[in-house]
Every structure is written in structure tokens, then in C-alpha cells.
Amino acid sequence: MMERVELTRDCEGVQVPAGTKMTLEKGLEVFITQSLGGTYTVQVPAYSGLFRISGKDADALGKTPEQGSEAAAGGDTESMVWDQLKTCFDPEIPVNIVDLGLVYGVALTPDPDVPGMMPKQKVSIDLTLTTPGCPSHTQITEQIRNRLAGLQEISESKVNLVWEPKWSPSRISPQAQQKLGIA
């Protein structure tokens, strides 16, 4: 069920799936179709399309921005990376990219260029998409980079698009299959 809201201020929207950034103006009627991972997908009848609105602009929708999106320092860095990846969503599918089976691997390497008491790490993510022509790849990749930038332990992140092995619905977690009604 979509929630109708009127924007309370101008905010940035990213067109789905094109990735074009656009200012959505105060007073514009939008319908929230999805609210996952701290971002919102809205249908905008005036522009006949879908747009993604960042969590930092949640107040423009009359929502409270999610708290605690930045991971706390300390603990297993790889686990924290996976936790952040679970907050990333395809704008058209209500399942995170990990449970969709899109993340094929996470590799951490020490970053010798960043001195200090807390060692920093570079992270490399192997990511696939449901189809090679997936128009949301730019938005998904941007979400990943934004989430990992919130980890104090990470100095740099790289997302590698990979196509082997080919993605199939069998990679979707059982919980996600149930949520999507394919279990």
C-alpha cells in the first residue's frame, strides 16, 4: 500500500532506473512505494516516474531519518561490512542485496597509506546484478559506497561488477524467497 505525502521542502531525487538527479520541489505530491535501508522510493505522478530519496532527506517526506546508520567502531570489520551491505536495496525489489544473492564476496586489505592507532582497511566488493543490463546498478553501487563510508575502519571501498557465476533466483535466501512469494 502506497502512502501519499506532500513534500515539505525541496529535496534531491534520483530517477529510477535512469539515475538522473533532479530537485523535487516543495508541495509536490508523491507516493512512498518502498522504505528500506534508510532510503525511500517514491512514485511522482507529476513526472510519471519513480525516484529514490536519500534518508538524509526523510524530513521532506515527513519522516524521521533513521538513526545509527553509521556503524559503531570496534568489532569484526568484515561483519560490519556485511551488516552495512544488508542495508542496501534495489529500488524496485523489497529485499536487500545480500539476501538477493547479489554480493559474491567481500575482501579486506590493510591500507598502509593511512597511519594511526586504528588500522584502516580497503574493502573490495564483488557484486553481480539480476541481469547485465540492470538499470539500477549505479544507484546500488552508490548506496554501497555511502554505507561503507560510514565505517570508521574503512579507508576506501571498491565495487567490482562480476558476471560469473551467473546470478539466478536460486541465490535468493530462503527468507527473501518467502518475502517475495517464490518459496
- The contacts found for 115-121 with CB under 8 angstroms, 24 or more apart, are 118/73, 118/152, 118/153, 119/153, 120/153, 120/154, 120/155, 121/77, 121/153, 121/154, 121/155
Number of folded domains that form the chain: 2
Q: What's the CATH number where 136 sits?
A: 3.30.300.130
Q: Which domain holds residue 8?
A: 3-61
Residues 88, 118, single domain; the answer is: yes
pLDDT in tens, 131-142: 888 888 888 998
Assess if residue 71 is contained within a domain: no
CA proximity to 54, closest of 81, 72, 35: 35
Residues 89, 52, single domain; the answer is: no
Assess if residue 27 is contained within a domain: yes
pTM for the model stands at 0.67
Assess if residue 131 is contained within a domain: yes
Among residues 61, 95, 111, which one ends one of the domains?
61
pLDDT in tens, 22-70: 999 999 999 998 887 778 889 999 998 888 888 888 899 998 876 544 4
Residues 20, 92, single domain; the answer is: no
Q: What's the CATH number where 52 sits?
A: 2.30.30
